[in-house]
A and B are shown apart, each in its own frame.
Chain A
Amino acid sequence: MSTIKINIVSSSEEIYSGEATMIFATGTLGELGIAPGHTPLLTGLAPGPVRVQNGSDEEAFFCSGGFLEVQPDLVTVLSDTAERADSLDESEAIKAKEIAEQELANKDATLDYAKASAQLAEAVARLKTIQKLRKKQ
């Protein structure tokens, strides 16, 4: 029986790599069944299981969304590590901007650490010299 190569990866690890006779996945537009020799296809994945059949063996992986690429002899599943939605991404982006703004706002309000520690070192050195001078007197 002919097989097709399949790789399932997420950005923090490799999930599965092997041969399959049939692959089932949930595309954004519906269920997909991919057999060896499938025409090139690029689709988004909806959260759901990806099932890999090899003969009578079957393995299932949960995929929280991502992309699926099909070449006649190769299937690549690029899985996301978390559920993604434009609205969520948007809030993340706003957070990153806010941190940047806070940093800028802090500039005048509080001394930054490096400056403070430099001033502290200077003060300590001054104290030391004063003590030394006192001893001599």
Chain B
Amino acid sequence: MANTKEVRKQIASIKSTQKITSAMEMVAASKMKKTQDSMLEGRPYSLKIKDVISHIALANSEYRHPFYEERTPKKACFIVVSSDKGLCGGLNINLFKHVIAKSAELNEQNISSCFALIGTKASGFFKSVGGEVVAVAEKLGDKPNPDDLIGLTKVVLDMHKISEIDQAYLCSNTFVNTMTQQPNVEQLIPLKPEEQDESSSLQWDYIYEPEAKELLDGLLTRYIESLVYQAVVENNACEQAAKMIAMKNATDNAGDLIKELELLYNNVRQAAITQELSEIVGGAAAV
């Protein structure tokens, strides 16, 4: 049977682990609030730019942007948004599973895949799994800057421009609530045109300053950038929520373990006392 010293040592080590996990839980909880705020702060821009884009779709512009063009797809690019740090349960790996499934599905239709990765976890995963990686953006921090994503988005859009890829997908976790994060693979390019509203089918068009092509190019690039940024911010909120839950579970499990070990400790101690007593009694009887 184990001796009391060993059990005590084990209890102490689990207790210190529990302290760490509960501290991490609290850190994640406070960060979650902040990341949720920045998720909400970015929302007006994406809503407004969406409004403008839908207005443009209604306008009778002569110019039709390549992002709306349905080409016969040969190659698709996945923009995968992941976290930089681990210890957040199955958040990242669930998303990667979705991405791999989608990529396999496209592969059956003879569409090959390449990947643009955001976050250390994604780059680590796709490095070990393999796959063509075209761009990486890492270590964006808790408050990502929209400008840090410009490069990665441009790589993808440029590849589309020169017809190297025909489709682009944005893969990230969506924040349902603190308990639930939903992995999501969404089609970015070709853009799905907004539903045409019958009532506003008046013939009108914008005055474009300078030219329609140049403006729409810039605007749609910004639109896609804003979608990617929004996904990153939302994924951050997901990460903190998932981390909080994972750490809470770890703390609870450590508590259970400690309880069991304490029971074992008491057993061992009691056994030792009983043994000693019986030895004393035996010794006394012998005398």
Contacts and interface: CB of A to CB of B under 8 A. Distances in A.
Interface of A: 7, 9-14, 17, 27-29, 39-44, 66-67, 69, 71, 76, 78, 80-82, 84, 89-97, 99-100, 103-104, 106-107, 112-115
B147 interface: yes
A36 to B, nearest CB: 17
Contacts of A80: 222
Interface of B: 38, 41-42, 44-46, 48-49, 51-52, 55-56, 59, 116-117, 123-124, 127-128, 133-138, 145-147, 150-152, 154-155, 158, 204-210, 214-215, 218-219, 222, 225-226, 229
Nearest to A42: B206
A93 B138 CA distance: 13
Contact of B133 (A67, A69, A100, A112): A100
A114 B209 CA distance: 53
Given A78-B48, A78-B49, A40 B209 contact: no
Contact of B218 (A44, A69, A115): A44
A6 to B, nearest CB: 11
Name which of A27, A90, A100, A103 has the most chain B CB atoms within 10 A of its CB.
A100
A93 B151 contact: yes
23 contacts: A11-B46, A11-B225, A12-B146, A29-B209, A42-B52, A42-B209, A42-B215, A43-B209, A44-B215, A69-B52, A80-B222, A92-B147, A93-B135, A93-B154, A93-B155, A96-B155, A97-B134, A97-B135, A99-B135, A100-B123, A100-B135, A103-B123, A114-B128
A7 B44 contact: yes
| Dominant SS among interface residues on chain B | helix
Contacts of B127: 103-104, 106-107, 112
Contact of B44 (A14, A29, A107, A113): A14
Nearest to B208: A42
Nearest to B207: A41
Contacts of A94: 151
A39 B231 CA distance: 34
B215 A43 contact: yes
A65 B146 CA distance: 14
A28 B210 contact: yes
A92 B59 CA distance: 33
Nearest to B146: A11
Contacts of B51: 76
A13 B44 CA distance: 7
A97 B132 CA distance: 12
Given A92-B154, A112-B128, A113-B124, A81 B136 contact: no
A99 B48 contact: no
B134 A40 contact: no
A29 B226 contact: no
Nearest to B118: A96
A92 B41 contact: no
Given A40-B59, A66-B222, 12 more contacts: A12-B146, A13-B41, A17-B44, A28-B209, A81-B147, A90-B154, A92-B151, A93-B152, A93-B155, A96-B116, A96-B136, A100-B123
